[in-house]
Amino acid sequence: MSFELDRIGLIHSNGQAQGQRALRAVSISAARGERLAIIGPSGAGKTTLLRILATSIRPTEGRVSVLGTNPWQLSSRELRRLRSGVGFIHQAPPIPPRQRVITAVIAGRLGQWPWWKSALSLIYPADIAGPREQLARLDLADRLFDRCDRLSGGQLQRVGVARVLYQRPDLLLADEPVSAMDPALADLTVGQLHAEAQSRGVTLVASLHAVDIALRWFPRVIGLKAGELVFDLPPAKVSESVLRDLYASETGVLPSQDNQPFHASFEGYATDDTPGGSGQVPLAPPRVI
């Protein structure tokens, strides 16, 4: 079991009105190597859910198990080791603007390296080939020694992805990892996340603002709305009406990576209410280069 959430409830410690839960009785579990997409409107609780998996917030109710242990019963040393095996790609990359790209990528291994190696890397990077290889996968190898404040939003987001790829985590979490990228780069990046998860057999959980990417790439799609689990289905079973309910979209426009009206391309996907029930086969993911 890669992770297991059992009837998780969460009230954020700051701000929210009494009893207002960001998550309500959410139960999800995944075996090692599974790849899940989480979709849902803004404020649904996607980030909160991922942060619980990343052991960065502790649920108010319910039971969490990450990589086979309950993180909140570990000693601080064990918890640190567990955390070094969980990678989290943030929507807004938390990288100091003055930092160089290579340093930002190397920071992915701080939890695994002895402190002296990390300290020496501030002066001269202990590994250059490794960060370069991860950046090259995302078409950024030429920016290795640039400062991060010279990068565009999409480039910085890819540096954040490269950092977590370099970390080589056992559980790969991604919070809207491609929200600042154009469709082609988004496909490249999501493709690399899948390649990483498949080649090392690790679990990938990604929240996505774009429904098309979720349906095209992920074998399992989870719908979250107002803190509640709405569905947990293979993409072939995610029908247009289910999506419209999720996004409460009367106008028929569902969020997609290229901001084109999404329903136009719906013929490519299965609908639950087609006769025979099995529906069409979803489009195959583009081959990973």
Ligand X SMILES: Nc1ncnc2c1ncn2[C@@H]1O[C@H](COP(=O)(O)OP(=O)(O)O)[C@@H](O)[C@H]1O
Interacting residues toward other proteins by CB under 8 A: 54-58, 72, 74-76, 79-88, 90, 94-99, 103, 107-108, 110-112, 115, 118-119, 122, 167, 169
Residue of 45, 69, 86 whose CA lies nearest to 203: 86
| C-beta neighbour count of 51 within 10 angstroms | 19
Stretch binding ligand X (CB under 6 A), from 35-43, 71-79, 122-130, 252-260: 35-43
Single out the residue of 1, 7, 16, 63 in contact with ligand X (rule: CB under 6 A): 16
**Subset of 39-68 contacting ligand X (CB under 6 A):** 40, 42-48
Q: How many Cβ atoms are within 10 Å of 238's Cβ, its own excluded? A: 26
What residue has token string 């090692």?
A: 32
Structure tokens that stand for 275 in this block? 């006769």
Q: What separation in angstroms does the CA of 143 have from each of 25, 108, 118, 260, 268? A: 44, 17, 21, 31, 37
Which CB atom, from 181 or from 224, has the smaller least distance to ligand X? 224
Cα–Cα distance, 3 to 82 (Å, whole number): 12
Asked whether position 194 contacts ligand X by CB under 6 A, the answer is no
In angstroms, rounded to a whole number, what is the distance separating the alpha carbons of residues 130 and 135? 9
Q: Does 15 interact with ligand X (rule: CB under 6 A)?
A: yes
- Phi (first) and psi of residue 141, to 5 degrees: -60, -30
Q: Which is nearer to Mg ion, 105 or 210 (CB)?
A: 210
Q: Which does 97 bind (CB under 5 to 8 A by kind): Mg ion, other proteins, ligand X, none?
A: other proteins
Query: Does residue 47 touch Mg ion according to CB under 5 A?
Result: yes
Q: How far apart are CA 63 and CA 56, in angstroms?
A: 15
Provide the minimum distance between the beta carbon of 191 and Mg ion in the complex, in angstroms, as a whole number.
Answer: 22
Tell me which residues in 108-137 interact with ligand X (CB under 6 A).
none
Q: Which is nearer to ligand X, 14 or 199 (CB)?
A: 14
Binding residues for ligand X, rule: CB under 6 A, are: 12, 14-16, 22, 40, 42-48
Binding residues for Mg ion, rule: CB under 5 A, are: 47
